[in-house]
Structure 1
């Protein structure tokens, strides 16, 4: 506004208007410089990663058609996603409303009556075409429109991020449901082993090689394993219901889980840290909200300047009176109105202060999300490396524990070890299997987290390209 100039020259035959040129919105790199000025974003991730560009279509890398179908079902039926879509529609409507303020308003004014109010007061009736228009000299209305466009862009990015987050949530819930299904099978196997151990202790008692204490301990162990199986079955049904809620079904725990967890996919390209900041839809949304806040500051500052409105009318009017002849005539009118702000009790300066504070908040929020995004990628990469090592160690531990449990049970059969050794070996073997299953599921979940943190879309083709494309912003 400081350098903006507007001149209004009224003459007999001409009106010359020179409007204010609005300032451009800050670009993504400008927002980053303001939001995280003391953070040097490196060229590569600190954890070991593949620097190739991030690819869309990560859902297909799991090779699970049932998971693909569940994600598609969630996209069609999930209520939270429907809410995000409705917010995009609302933002579109706000843009239309803001755009309408820049255009003339045209309407028809009509008046009719049966008779004059009195003999001396004539009655006017007729129809006029009326035009009113506020000329945006200082950019106040344009700033409002740009802010609405930026908010619409942010809502669109929010919707894209909601889609990606929903696909990731379905994948995580699917892996948890599969893990709990495997835990149910494992718990039932454990209960079966405990039952078999009860029979074995009874056999030893009958032939005089065992004692009643072993029988009671075996029965107690069997009861504990059966109780654990019931708990795992409940956890599995809860996992299925959580998955059904995500895909928009009635929570009846009726989805059939896989018999085993998906195979872990191959390495994933991670791109560069700066690319992730530009690609992630939630950061695109935050950047566009900074732009909207900038435009609202411009709108508030433009409110200090005078407003100019023009109006015009054209129509047919009838004048009817009891004491004079009726007159029908065509009429036209035109006027211009200006309002110069002088004193509003601090309202204008308060509005500028409010909008400026909102802009500071939007910038700080972008900085928070940017650091969070970088941390999510680094953490996911760290987890990938650590969990891969843990899975290998636990796989070896599970195999060794099972072999040791088998050998101890054989020794117990021939009387070379006691029941306590057998139970301890079984407990160790079962714990190793449960830990291995948990790590396998955790690896899959963390891979999903990595894809979400990188901002790559879960589908390929035009949908992915549209989802990753940053909004261009308003044309100024």
Structure 2
């Protein structure tokens, strides 16, 4: 027993020493050599009222219904749920990979019964001998991770799990922006339908005036036909708008994981949506805010750890195995000191020739790391372009909206004058038709311009990575 205890202590000491010797060859992350600009090209001067997006950034639009849909999507969206399941799988894979860093221990117990033959060499019949043997033992095995192969593999799995968590954030951000876009499409469709119906009523009013002139002999049948064509054209615009309305409501139903029949969207008007002011911050801050950048960074870290694990395969693998227990032919004497036994085996295996498998695997991990490095660099560069594009879109759609409002105001005045002259009998029918068409198109374009500005704001939120964690101001006297 004393010898057995000594062997166990020695085995445990080797395990502890080996577990602290890993990762001697693991490299740091490669330098992406990125050119981080000091500011965004399209950013305007920041104002005191501007602030980075909050975690619940959708509340800045001040729509209770939109907030309800956003919060419901975060709870029940199936894409987000699938992303959560993926990072749970990655966590399990990390635990599996980390198991190689610890010894394996197994216990066994057996009872063996055997009986020898009853015959002898002289042909005489002799009673056979019955033998019963009892065995109880523990077996331990451990691979010394001296070169860091298992530790690097575990680190790669852990980084992959981190990347899966950021992938969930990417899916969540994509889902939330899809909800916002679909909801604003619903509002725009409702506004355009109301405008189309109002324009139909105006066109029918003009048609009645032209018919009165025709009955009085001051207008022609061609004038009536032209106005009837314009009325029919306005009516034909309504079904596609209703189709777009229903499709976007169904899209919202899918995003909140409910059948369309159970979803009721009240909607309203784009005029009731507040326009938030958001500052993009500095490009350097974007690297820690966008989940897709963080995901690529974690994947690059996993690939770097895989290189260390692949490199360690060139070196010998050292395996320690030990077994100890008790063995006796009598159950009552099984756990007596004289029934104890143990064995301890150490082995080393050095690859000599494997047809280039280890070298090929090492070069593969290097190429995979390089691919992820380039992908990471592209993601960062693309993120800067995304923010600039969103800022440009906000600026230009705001200008477009202001100009389109001037177009609508002028078109309304022109149509009112043309309608007055029509009733007075002094208007040219062609002028009346042109002013109607100009007004109807201008009003519809106005709603589309409002929608475009809101979509540009949403694209800025998405480009910035959604909501930002609030900055913690440290006290001046903090250590």
Same fold (TM over 0.5): yes
| 1:367 aligned onto 2:377 | yes
Match of 1:313 among 305, 310, 323: 323
| In 1, Cα distance between equivalents of 2:115 and 2:342 | 23
Map of 1:278 onto structure 2: 288
Tell me the secondary structure at the aligned position of residue 101 of structure 2: coil
Q: What is residue 161 of structure 1 aligned with on the other side?
A: 170
Tell me the distance in 1 between the aligned counterparts of 2:115 and 2:27: 59
Say whether residues 1:128 and 2:123 are aligned partners. Answer: no
Q: 1:145 to 1:161 in 2, by over 3 A?
A: same
Asked if 1:451 is matched to 2:461, the reply is: yes
Given the superposition, is the C-alpha separation of residues 261 and 153 from structure 1 closer, same or farther in structure 2, using an over 3 Å criterion? farther
What corresponds to 2:156 in structure 1?
147
**Residues 191 and 229 in structure 1, CA contact (< 8 A), matched pair in contact too:** no
Query: Which whole-Å CA distance do the structure 2 matches of 1:206 and 1:69 have between them?
Result: 56
Aligned counterparts of 1:156 and 1:302: Cα–Cα separation in 2: 28
CA shift in 2, pair 1:219/1:107, >3 Å:
same
1:22 is aligned to 2:32 = no
Aligned to 1:43: 38
Q: Indicate the RMSD between aligned Cα atoms, in angstroms.
A: 2.7
Name which of 172, 192, 209 aligns with 1:200: 209
1:433 deviates by 1.1
Partner secondary structure for residue 288 of structure 2: helix
Change (3 A) 1:421 1:121: farther
How far apart, in 2, do the equivalents of 1:74 and 1:266 lie? 22
1:39-438 equivalences in 2 (<5 Å): 40-50=35-45, 54-57=52-55, 58-116=57-115, 124-252=133-261, 254-319=264-329, 329-438=339-448
- What displacement does 1:318 show? 3.4
Is the contact made by 1:92 and 1:152 (CA closer than 8 Å) also made in structure 2? yes
> CA 1:451–1:421 in 2, change beyond 3 Å: closer, same or farther?
same
Q: CA deviation at 1:141?
A: 0.3
CA distance in 1, matches of 2:277, 2:132: 85
- Contact 1:129/1:313 (8 A) holds in 2: yes
Query: Residues 285 and 121 from structure 1, CA distance in 2 versus in 1: closer, same or farther, beyond 3 angstroms?
Result: farther
Indicate conservation of the 8 Å contact 2:311/2:362, yes or no. yes
How far apart are the structure 2 equivalents of 1:432 and 1:22? 70
Q: Per-residue deviation at 1:225?
A: 1.2
User: Structure 2: which 5+ residue stretches go unaligned?
Assistant: 1-9, 118-127, 331-336, 473-479
Conserved 8 A contact 1:261-1:441: no
Equivalent position of 2:32 in the other structure: 32
Runs of at least 5 residues in structure 1 that lack an aligned partner in the other structure: 1-10, 321-326, 466-476
Q: Distance in 1 between matches of 2:370 and 2:390?
A: 30
Contact residue 81 and residue 163 of structure 1 kept, 8 A? yes
Q: How far is 1:261 from its partner? A: 4.2
> 1:407 offset after TM fit, Å?
0.9
Matches within 5 A, 1:3-18: none
Structure ID, larger Rg? 2
SS of corresponding position for 2:321: strand
CA contact (8 A) 1:31 1:287 kept: no
Q: Is the 1:398–1:436 contact (alpha carbons within 8 Å) kept by the matching residues of 2?
A: yes
Distance 1:369 1:121, change over 3 A: farther
Displacement after TM superposition at 1:114 (Å): 4.0
Instruction: Please list the CA deviations of residues 188-209 of structure 1 after superposition, one character each: whole Å capped at 9, or x if unmatched.
Output: 1122222222222222222222
Q: 3-state SS of the aligned residue for 1:300?
A: helix
Once the two structures are TM-superposed, the CA of residue 110 in structure 1 deviates from its matched residue by 2.8
Equivalent residue pairs, number: 439
